[in-house]
Amino acid sequence: MSAGPVERPPGEAGGGSAAPASPRALAWRRRRHSLGRFWAGYRGNRAGLAGLAGLAVFVLIALCAPLLIGPADLSLTDAPGGPHEPPSAAYPLGTDNYGRSILDLVIWGSRVSLTVGFLATLMCVGLGTLVGIVAGHYGGFGSTVLMRITDWVLVLPALVLAVAFAAVMGQGTVTIILAIGLTAWPTTARLVRAQTLAVEARPYIDRAKALGGGHGHVMTRHVLPNVMPIVLAQTTLTVAESIIMESTMAFLGLGDPNTLSWGGTLQEARNAGAVSSGLWWHLLPPGLAIVLVALAFTLCGRAIEGVLNPRLRERR
Amino acid sequence: MTAQTGPDPATRDDAGDRAVPGGAAAPVLSAEGLEVRFKGRGDRGVARAVDGVHLDVRAGEIIALVGESGCGKTTLARTLLGLERPTDGRVTFEGRPLSYTGKALKAYRRRAQLVLQDPSGSLNPRHVVYDAVAEGLRIHYGVTADEKAKVADALARAGLRPPERFFLRYPHELSGGQRQRVVIAGALVLDPEVIVADEPVASLDASVRGEILALLLRLRDDLGLSALVVTHDLGLAWNIADRVAVMYLGRVVESGTVEEVLTAPRHPYTQALLSVLPEGGVAERVVLTGEPPDPTRVPGGCRFHARCQILASGEADRAGIADRCRGEDPGVLPAGSDSHLAACHYAALGEPAGT
């Protein structure tokens, strides 16, 4: 932690001497600067880097999947191998009940699983954080209404709501993302609101108000950084949850039945009796993939929290 | 953009002379019949935290607001900054009533600053010192080129030298006194005209306390800064204030210049407060009895009568005013007067008629 305002170029501090920079340029320079500081802190966290590298590998594999696997490899009727072959040189992770390579299924499935995991999580955590902070900050009648809506969504069975979505919007991955995003946010909203209420009671909120800070300033500069730990923890939990949820929804026919995903492969393994007949290679790889992605998210989340929370940084 | 300039030079004239606070100076910030009530839940009743206060803070003047815990000092300070809405009465700044629209409040808060009581809590633990001090500048002017210079200057003025060494410290890495000085620097960076300081030095050790108080006095002398210093420490009031207002249970019960009030207190409450000072030199210590005041149950008559040592000792009876003490409210002290006032029936006996 050596970078910071101290080591800014002198021209910036002096003001008059250099060509006067526009406020926007100054703001950008400051933002770049704090981003640099953030990265410097993050880089020092080995577990965080490992998590980031893991996520990068998964994303890279998902992007390169069409280069590695042809449509023939995933064909149900014209599968390359025999059904339920154990791992071998030709099929490193064995084959499924149709004779497709599990490795291929996992690689191809990462595309849908990661997309759903990322987007649904982004949507659900974003919506939950927004609702939670707004409800906690403003209080009053509007907040009560907002929280009653939250409670209402919380008690609605997510699957029923998702089926209704699919009926309106048609089947597909987008429907699944929306269905997860629009049903899973209330938990986040409730947690964030509770934390917001605790933060709002702190004297530094009063100080910010007395300095002239408006609602936006208080919410983004003071409340948001202090509810971040909860938001990050919630993110890591939601990623794994969304990936599993996707398989449930695909199983119920809300997605395109031909789409391959980790959850879908797990579902198929279960249907094919992999649990009872000890076909571990059918179950384990997609399950492990979900665990690894969730783990990578957890590591990243903890590292970000470590950088944002100055007290944690010291203890490390 | 430049910072707010100090008030016009005319107001500086009285700054050097503490015995005669400029009687002609117009009030910068004043409370007019201010009342703040909090509704308790259930049957706890309404707390009259501030119950009719007239108070003027004039340009270049430091006023100390003293009183025991729970008498409404902090609420009054918060109301003056617009953090609390008055139930009745109004706050005026430069003669104009405070407007509670977002824009007007923001403009007001560029010129009036609050220093809070608790330095550990009033800094965001996730902001470094630089960001905490620059916060006000960024709120009002955005990011400016001379931001760093201003932050360094404010930190140096608040006694954190060399300022660059503190830029990247987090609040938890600072001592309580340093934190409080960061808070003060955050208020100074906007070059305010009025500072409302709620127990600004309560958490500081004696050496730092002296430095902060000297800073306040210097700012008053150099820039014509006005300040309302809320404190329970009469010694502090004696050291820095031009005028003193003594508050009891939501009301100002005695006001006047610091010499008058602290050397010749007229209200029995002030007398009791002064008599228990360790270095008071008063022969007889008055320890107040009776239940501590409860703003949800303000007694009738004089609000101090239940604990008043003059009434208890029978002196009021002998003067023939005991019934008035118990049944008649001595009224609210007016603001803007230079004379030494006390809201007390007994004190009023010794005065020439008409006051």
Would the CB atoms of B122 and A207 count as touching at under 8 Å? yes
Per the prediction, chain A carries an average pLDDT of 83
Share of chain B above pLDDT 90, in %: 23
Alpha-helical (H) ranges within B21-146 are 73-80, 102-111, 129-141
B300: left (phi over 0), alpha (psi -120 to 50) or beta: beta
Side-chain half-sphere CA neighbours of B270 within 13 A: 29
Would the CB atoms of A212 and B109 count as touching at under 8 Å? yes
- Within 8 A of A226 by CB-CB distance, chain B residues are 124-126
DSSP helix, strand, coil percent of chain B (3-state; round to 5): 35, 20, 45
Q: Distance (Å, rounded) from C-alpha B11 to C-alpha B15?
A: 7
Shortest CA gap B172–chain A (Å): 8
Domain boundaries, chain B: 30-36+47-241, 264-349
Lowest mean pLDDT among A233-242, B41-50, B222-231: B41-50
Any chain A CB within 8 A of the CB of B162? Answer: no
Instruction: For residues B73-87, give the mean pLDDT.
Output: 90
Beta bridge partners of residue B50, listed in sequence order:
B36
Closest Cβ opposite residue B145 in set A12, A214, A309: A12
Shortest CA gap B283–chain A (Å): 42
| The pLDDT value given to residue A132 | 95
Max mean pLDDT range (A92-106, A122-136, B221-235): A122-136
What are the tens digits of pLDDT across the range B180-203?
A: 889 989 999 999 999 999 888 877
CA dihedral A150→A152→A155→A158, nearest 10 degrees, is -80
Would the CB atoms of A4 and B121 count as touching at under 8 Å? no
Any idea which fold B30-36+47-241 has?
Answer: Rossmann fold (3.40.50)
Any chain A CB within 8 A of the CB of B104? Answer: no
Any chain A CB within 8 A of the CB of B30? Answer: no
State yes or no: pLDDT of A108 exceeds 50.
yes
Would the CB atoms of A207 and B146 count as touching at under 8 Å? no
Domain boundaries, chain A: 22-315
Would the CB atoms of A14 and B149 count as touching at under 8 Å? yes
Shortest CA gap A191–chain B (Å): 20
CB atoms within 10 A of CB B13: 13
Closest Cβ opposite residue A210 in set B109, B123, B167: B109
Would the CB atoms of B122 and A4 count as touching at under 8 Å? no
Q: Distance (Å, rounded) from C-alpha A189 to C-alpha A129?
A: 6
- Select the more confidently predicted residue: A170 or A124: A124
Closest Cβ opposite residue B149 in set A15, A212, A214: A15
Question: Is B11:B59 a contact under the CB 8 Å cutoff?
Answer: yes
Any chain A CB within 8 A of the CB of B172? Answer: yes
Give the 3-state secondary structure of residue B92.
strand
What are the tens digits of pLDDT across the range B322-355?
A: 888 888 888 888 876 677 888 888 888 875 544 3
Would the CB atoms of B186 and A207 count as touching at under 8 Å? yes
- Select the more confidently predicted residue: B277 or A262: A262
Q: Give the angle subtended at the CA of B155 by the CAs of B154 and B160, to the nearest 5°.
A: 150
State yes or no: pLDDT of A308 exceeds 70.
yes
Would the CB atoms of A4 and B190 count as touching at under 8 Å? no
Alpha-helical (H) ranges within chain B are 73-80, 102-111, 129-141, 147-157, 176-188, 206-223, 234-240, 258-263, 268-275, 309-312, 315-319, 322-327, 345-349
What are the tens digits of pLDDT across the range A23-46?
A: 778 778 878 888 888 898 889 889
Using pLDDT thresholds of 50, 70 and 90, give the confidence band for residue A258.
confident
Max mean pLDDT range (A152-161, A210-219, A263-272): A210-219
Interface A-B, measured as beta-carbon pairs within 8 A, has a size of 106
Any chain A CB within 8 A of the CB of B37? Answer: no
What's the one-letter identity of residue B216?
L
Q: Which residue of A has its CA nearest to B132?
A: A208
Shortest CA gap B354–chain A (Å): 41
Would the CB atoms of A1 and B168 count as touching at under 8 Å? yes
| The pLDDT value given to residue B102 | 86
A residues 180-219 closer than 8 Å to B (CB)? 202-204, 206-214, 217
Helix, strand counts (H, E) of chain B: 13, 11
Instruction: For residues B55-80, give the mean pLDDT.
Output: 89
Using pLDDT thresholds of 50, 70 and 90, give the confidence band for residue A54.
very high
Would the CB atoms of A212 and B106 count as touching at under 8 Å? yes
Closest residue by Cα to residue B293 from B244, B251, B235, B245: B251
CB atoms within 10 A of CB A170: 10
Would the CB atoms of B143 and A13 count as touching at under 8 Å? no
Any idea which fold A22-315 has?
Answer: MetI-like fold (1.10.3720)
Would the CB atoms of B149 and A207 count as touching at under 8 Å? no
B residues 289-328 closer than 8 Å to A (CB)? none
Would the CB atoms of A210 and B135 count as touching at under 8 Å? no
Q: Which residue of B has its CA nearest to A204?
A: B122
Q: Distance (Å, rounded) from C-alpha B180 to C-alpha B129?
A: 11
Q: Distance (Å, rounded) from C-alpha A4 to C-alpha B131?
A: 11
Closest Cβ opposite residue A204 in set B102, B123, B130: B123
- Interface mutation vs chain A, best among B117, B148, B189, most A CBs within 10 Å: B148
Would the CB atoms of A210 and B83 count as touching at under 8 Å? yes
Distance from CA of residue B32 to its chain's centroid?
15
